[in-house]
Amino acid sequence: MKRLIKWIVILFILLVAVLVAAPFFIPLDSVKKLASDKVREMTGRELVIGGEIKASMWPDIGVKLGQVTLSNPEGYSDKYMAQIGELTAEVALMPLLHGDVQIKQFTINKPTIHLEVNKNKVGNWEFAKKEKPASIVENNNAPAPKKGGGEIPALGKIKITDGDFTYKDANSGKAYNAGNVNLDVNMQSGESPVDIIAKLMINKEQVSVSLNAKDPWKLTQEKGDSPIKAEVKVGSLLAFKFDGKGNTQGASGSLDLNIPSLVTLSSWSGKKMEWNGDTNLALGIQGAANCTTSQCTLGKAKITFDDAVLQGDLKANFAGTIPAIEGKLTSDKVNLNHYMAKTDKQASMQLISSAHAANAPGWDTKPIDFSGLKAANVNLALDVKEMLYQATTLSKIQLSIKLVNGALNLEIPHVELYSGSAKITASANTSGTISASLDASNIQIEPLLKDFANNDRLTGITNLSTSITGHGTSQREIVASLNGKGDIKISDGTIRGINIAQVISNAKSMVIGVDTSSEKTQFSELGGTYIITQGIVKNDDLVMKAPLLRLKGAGTVDLPNRYVKYLLTPTVVATLQGQGGKDKTGLDIPVMVEGNFEKLKFTPDLASVANDALKNPEKIKDTVKSIKESVKKPDELKNLLKGFR
């Protein structure tokens, strides 16, 4: 684009000089040919002036011509790069007599400009190199031009009315159009400020741009700065302000960006983002910006995202093939509930389970697009005092995000959550490989499972550690590939959905099994270890302790098929002292837990009970007798079993 602007300025001065001065000395038809020859010499393009030329001499020299076209080279979809309905120029008379072109006014009415990149990735604004006329041949030994000496000419007033601009890219297929373009440029002399005001319509939205440079000459020089003020508005979709200074190397100053809705803005730009959250994704950025040709920094930044406010410093580097972003931000409060997908029920973001139709549960097979991980390299540190997730408040979060060449690493060395604390690490890359590890202590397991697995069957205070890896292009593929291991210990908790004491004490349930989905079993200690192989979780050492009950467990959880097959072996013991007393083994009554995640069934293993009774009939009698002796009063047994019912 810099070359385009350079050529426009050169052609602009050349055409004005020829079209304004020549009509007074040679026939008008010859003027058209002279202008066409000069443009062909400079650019290799064909300039055609189809309308008549009108000239005036007083009070300033002026010329008006119509139906002007500038051709495109071969390989572009449009025949013309530019078509102008009418062009009017006025040049100061007295300076022109001394060879100095001072433009007082230049008006272009109804121009149509077609900018295009062809299949060879060459823009039609890249003019063919031609030998420069002697009058503009560069002389490296010549002294630098003086201020006001012509490198930035006095443009006077330039006005474009009712223009139409298009842009096409034959490689990407992208196409843009800007209509009703109106432009006003005011620069009375090479030393005076320049004011630019532009208004245009893009996708039915009014876009306005204003720019003021106090000393535009310095914007083209190696030394010195010019104060700059700029403002951009896109209807009610975007507002941008900049107030600072600039030079040939960059600009610095205060920046203020306000976007009421990223969703609406994305729709206006032509590709609406998929968004089911309950906010408009409003974005505001304020800070001290310092930008060069290769990087931008934003110091003392204030970034507002909906109702979250982040403060700190940011830096973006554009020198590499992809941008690199780094920074450190802090925030008092972030509400993640705004960004959860809406379902027919309460919004829920789940790592292990996701929302599905009631009659078709299962993992999502839709391909996951990891290509966004290559959009930038990121090194970001974030400290958040409070983060709200569903009904849980995560506190004192220290978050580190590193993204390098498509590989994402997330580290949370400390976070307080679910009444405990945890350390979390996770990673992902563009090939679909993921990993995660968690070390947590004193966690309330019920809200954790409810938030991340849509399951509230278990309560208690938990210490756990786990590490998993997986690979795939969809949620189901990743779940089916999971490998890992972990351990868990839960104390003072409850298992909802089964009353083990009731099952083993109820004769009817022993014979036919009963639905105990509304029941619960309390325990003082529950824990074990597990391994995960290709999405299958296997545990062989589950142990639970409760008054009058001990329980062991072993089995598998098939995550890909969302199916549980697990054998619980409860033992009625002859003691009321819970985990604090000495266990006295009694009657073993295994219970099979089997079914999909949505509906588990608990059924006593009657064959095992029968075999145990045949092998040791006295064991049953002794256990019943011991319990009877331990419980002297009916109320004691009632209170003992209260937690199970």
Cβ-count burial 186-214 (b if 16+ within 10 Å, e if not)? bbeebebebbbebebbbbeeebebbbbbe
- Indicate the pairing of strand 80-91 with strand 61-71: antiparallel
Given this model, what pLDDT does residue 480 score?
95
* Confidence class for position 173, pLDDT limits 50, 70, 90: confident
Residues 247-257: what's their mean pLDDT? 92
Half-sphere exposure of 178 (CA within 13 A, CB side): 18
Given this model, what pLDDT does residue 557 score?
95
User: Average pLDDT of the chain?
Assistant: 79
Share of the chain above pLDDT 90, in %: 40
Global confidence as pTM: 0.67
* Confidence class for position 381, pLDDT limits 50, 70, 90: very high
Cβ-count burial 313-325 (b if 16+ within 10 Å, e if not)? ebbbbeeeeeebb
- Weakest mean pLDDT among 329-333, 398-402, 543-547: 543-547
CB atoms within 10 A of CB 377: 19
Given this model, what pLDDT does residue 518 score?
60
- What is the per-residue pLDDT across 442-475, written as a single tens digit (0 to 9) for each? 999 888 888 777 777 889 999 999 999 999 999 9
Share of the chain above pLDDT 70, in %: 71
Half-sphere exposure of 119 (CA within 13 A, CB side): 3
* Confidence class for position 99, pLDDT limits 50, 70, 90: low
**CA–centroid distance for 1 within its chain:** 29
Cβ-count burial 445-475 (b if 16+ within 10 Å, e if not)? bbbbbbbbeebebbbbbbbbbbebbbbbeeb
Half-sphere exposure of 130 (CA within 13 A, CB side): 17
3-state SS record for 9-41 = HHHHHHHHHHHHHHHHCCCHHHHHHHHHHHHHH
* Confidence class for position 97, pLDDT limits 50, 70, 90: low
Token pair recorded at residue 148: 């006001």
Instruction: Please report, as a single letter, which amino acid is at residue 338.
Output: H
Instruction: Please report, as a single letter, which amino acid is at residue 559.
Output: L
Token pair recorded at residue 76: 């572009």
Given this model, what pLDDT does residue 264 score?
92
Given this model, what pLDDT does residue 149 score?
41
- Contact predicate 329/382, CB 8 Å: yes
Given this model, what pLDDT does residue 645 score?
36
More confident residue, 275 or 347: 275
